[in-house]
Structure 1
């Protein structure tokens, strides 16, 4: 007999999904996913751009509801598709009302789907877009800790709004540099995986004031729903795990990460 999965918890205080890919969800109709997301008291959702062919799609999705938002940027996997026309499109929409950040940008030396020098150039060019438009940044860094730090150091003075290193799986060196510079670290379902003690170690070292909650859906589905497609409505499991790992009251984690998300992506004028 299969073990019954827990119901998704619903918190009294709202939470914010800071990183997912709504246009990549396949398991159920989008309208159904969004309805379930609202049912678990997720107040806002940020869907993330990664490639030239989904920049416009993210903008369309963010216009579907008042509580949906998006980003504009090119993932390091797609760095070789970046050109002047793509940059012009990102720049043209970087300050749209429903676009809250430049991202997902960065370096990925694990898969090496794009030339490393090209990744670095595209990373720099998009960081400059964020600087020029006073936007926070959503960063992807995998197996590239030293290079990520080196490039971010180039922008320490000009990038006034930091953002997040999302789906953090890097080492303590990058974590400490990021935290010292005022960046947030984004954590998702990986925190619930049995073999992810290295990620939980970073959760322990990060101040709760610099942690953001995310799912990265449709990827990285948290326990107890591993094996199913991830979705924003599984975010409460991430919040619970962060509270457990840090030894903090769940309500403290929910309220603080909510305010962290507002401060980062929805600052009061």
Structure 2
């Protein structure tokens, strides 16, 4: 019997009401699809206790925390002390998601930039990877990430990457990672797949961003961690490798970036 290759959903939102009362079954479905672990993302720091509780209750679940750029204007500005204190939890493995979103919330651009720089400093101080959301803000994003990296190194993943080739190259030049979501499996996403195909495979992660962006054959329906396998299968085609090879390479990438996960699992 052939064993299903193991992969990780590096970005999902298990605290969202879409999954209420369903987490044990959802995690079982993920395991059956080969999705052995997942990182659930807290987008508002006031929700961190609930997100942390999910990670504490379920062995395959880890979490990250930050203030989403679309929430910066409506939420208290995060503090460095808050983020570094939360990061002490053994299953808190990333800073964010943070970033810039000028598509819906351009009016808070300066506050978003301030928040992003604060999250970068938290990533520096904790050694945890920064998790970036970027939409319609390529120039400012590339500039800030580069300026801050020159001021002091940090690691980073561009989550659900769907921006320009220029921003992709800027991120790769800084040693960062790009994460493939269900968008990369959409039939009309050929240009985005080309950007990924030009990226070294050792800089690639996969994710769902569930409950959003379900890949085919579930497009238009609620997404969930098990569907990472469908995104990964299409991604393997993009890179011209078999599924098992793609899974093994992205697992190695995840362990290299999210070092705290690997350390936690080794100690378990």
- Asked if these proteins are the same fold (TM beyond 0.5), I'd say yes
Determine the structure 1 residue equivalent to 2:14.
Answer: 22
Aligned length: 260
Instruction: Note the residue ranges of structure 1 that are not aligned, 5 or more in a row.
Output: 1-9
- Provide the TM-score with structure 1 as the length reference: 0.90
Root-mean-square deviation over aligned CA pairs: 1.9
Structure 1 position 96 matched with structure 2 position 89? yes
Structure 1 position 140 matched with structure 2 position 133? yes
**TM-superposed deviation, 1:215:** 0.4
- Give the direction of change, closer, same or farther, for the CA distance of 1:182–1:68 in structure 2 (3 Å limit): same
TM superposition outliers: structure 1 runs of 4+ over 6 Å: none
Check the 8 A contact 1:134/1:160 in 2, yes or no.
Answer: no
Determine the structure 2 residue equivalent to 1:171.
Answer: 164
Determine the structure 1 residue equivalent to 2:222.
Answer: 229
Structure 1 position 151 matched with structure 2 position 144? yes
Determine the structure 1 residue equivalent to 2:266.
Answer: none
Structure 1 position 56 matched with structure 2 position 49? yes
Check the 8 A contact 1:11/1:40 in 2, yes or no.
Answer: no
Determine the structure 2 residue equivalent to 1:4.
Answer: none
- Give the direction of change, closer, same or farther, for the CA distance of 1:57–1:48 in structure 2 (3 Å limit): same
**TM-superposed deviation, 1:185:** 0.2
Check the 8 A contact 1:79/1:114 in 2, yes or no.
Answer: no
3-state SS of 1:63 partner: helix
Check the 8 A contact 1:23/1:58 in 2, yes or no.
Answer: yes
- Provide the TM-score with structure 2 as the length reference: 0.91
- Hey, what's the Cα distance between the residues in 2 that align with 1:142 and 1:85? 21
Instruction: Note the residue ranges of structure 2 that are not aligned, 5 or more in a row.
Output: 264-268
3-state SS of 2:15 partner: helix
Check the 8 A contact 2:184/2:231 in 1, yes or no.
Answer: yes
